[in-house]
């Protein structure tokens, strides 16, 4: 099997210090968390940034500072800024970090309820526009799919030429409003992918590690981090993103799957080809 690419979603937009004191807000905190995750075995950092008070922002300068500082500490790591941002942001606001020409960026592939009164809006035309803007900069999109219908939409847009291959999907399972993280749902998503695509799985909350194992044994890749889950085990907060990545490395070792370096991840994903 291919080596395992571990993505660390170190910050996100929704988790606050009330949920866990270990969530990073400031650039210093974000850089430290990125470094801990990288040292533990993450080859991709899925990046959101915040104002110092924790407010999510897609400000380009804030991303630039975070990316430059992370690269000083983690020279070869792949940075994957979010174009999802936070619920309620405009599309222009969300797209700002791609102007920095990162190697990767997320492309969210459908609209869904996001808990409470929140709706994460990604209309078909939004997705086409995001895909176009990401592709014209030769950035590798990570196709975030929160539901099976999102995969279908990607396939349709791929056939029409709006999204180019090779396709790399990210199943984000267990969001309140999206598909659950039950094994049955993971298998259904996996079996719905077109040939020659790659995928990673992000399980929200209690789904994080069971889905990591499912993906490790299925030949997929894994995302963990405070954006998705703050517990190292039931009722016990993880003290860093590094701890969450270390746990995936332990699971992969037990299951006989080697961990990809950033350069190996680039090859697997066809970045820079």
Determine, following the binding rule CB under 6 A, whether residue 147 of this chain makes contact with ligand KMH.
Answer: no
Should residue 119 be labelled a site residue for ligand KMH when binding is judged by CB under 6 A? no
For residues 23 and 147, give the distance between their C-alpha atoms in angstroms, rounded to a whole number.
27
Q: Is 109 in the site for ligand KMH (CB under 6 A)?
A: no
Using CB under 6 A, pick the residue from 8, 36, 40, 86 that binds ligand KMH: 86
Of the pair 4, 89, the CB lying nearest ligand KMH is at: 89
Q: Does 82 bind Zn ion (CB under 5 A)?
A: yes
Considering only residues 38, 63, 120, 199, which one is a binding residue for ligand KMH as defined by CB under 6 A?
A: 120
Shortest gap between Cβ of 3 and ligand KMH (angstroms)? Answer: 24
Tokens read off for 177 = 């409003």
Q: Which residues on neighbouring strands pair with residue 88, listed in sequence order?
A: none
Residue 33 in contact with ligand KMH, rule: CB under 6 A? no
For position 208 contacting ligand KMH by CB under 6 A, the verdict is no
- Quick one: which segment of 82-90, 109-117, 153-161, 217-225 binds Zn ion (CB under 5 A)? 82-90
The residue of the chain with the least Cβ separation from ligand KMH equals 84
Contact 182, 203 (CB under 8 A): no
Residue 249 has which token pair?
Answer: 């490395």
Quick one: which of 43, 57, 106, 111 contacts ligand KMH (CB under 6 A)?
106
Whether omega before 48 lies within 30 degrees of 0, making that bond cis, reads no
* 74 or 202: CB nearest ligand KMH: 202
- Beta-carbon contacts of residue 180 (< 8 Å; ≥ 6 apart): 173, 174, 207
Contacts of 62 (CB under 8 A, 6+ apart): 27, 49, 51
Question: What SS3 state is found at 153?
Answer: helix
| Continuous H helices in the chain | 27-40, 60-73, 91-95, 124-135, 148-159, 183-191, 208-218, 241-254, 262-269
Binds 144, which of Zn ion, ligand KMH, none (CB < 5 to 8 A, cut-off by type)? ligand KMH
Contacts with Zn ion, residue ranges (CB under 5 A): 82
| Residues at the contact surface with ligand KMH, assessed by CB under 6 A | 12-14, 82-84, 86-87, 106, 108, 114, 120, 144
């Amino acid at each position: 099997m291919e080596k395992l690419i571990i993505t660390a979603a170190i910050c996100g937009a929704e988790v606050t210090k009330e949920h866990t004191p270990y969530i990073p807000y400031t650039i210093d905190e974000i850089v430290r968390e990125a470094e801990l995750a990288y040292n533990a075995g993450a080859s991709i950092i899925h990046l959101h940034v915040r104002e110092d008070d924790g407010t999510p922002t897609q400000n380009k300068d804030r991303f630039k500072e975070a990316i430059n500082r992370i690269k000083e500490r983690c020279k070869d790591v792949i940075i994957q800024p979010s174009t999802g941002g936070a619920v309620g942001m405009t599309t222009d606001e969300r797209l700002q970090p791609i102007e920095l020409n990162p190697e990767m960026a997320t492309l969210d592939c459908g609209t869904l309820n996001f808990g409470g009164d929140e709706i994460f809006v990604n209309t078909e035309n939004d997705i086409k526009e995001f895909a176009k803007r990401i592709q014209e900069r030769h950035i590798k999109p990570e196709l975030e799919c929160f539901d099976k219908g999102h995969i279908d939409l990607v396939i349709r847009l791929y056939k029409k030429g709006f999204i180019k291959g090779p396709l790399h999907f990210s199943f984000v399972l267990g969001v309140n409003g999206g598909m659950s993280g039950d094994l049955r749902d993971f298998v259904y998503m996996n079996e719905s992918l077109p040939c020659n695509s790659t995928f990673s799985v992000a399980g929200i909350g209690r789904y994080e590690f069971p889905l990591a194992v499912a993906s490790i044994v299925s030949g997929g890749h894994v995302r963990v981090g405070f954006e998705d889950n703050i517990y190292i085990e039931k009722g016990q907060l993880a003290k860093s993103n590094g701890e969450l990545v270390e746990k995936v490395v332990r699971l992969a070792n037990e299951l006989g799957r080697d961990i990809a370096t950033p350069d190996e991840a680039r090859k697997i994903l066809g970045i820079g080809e």
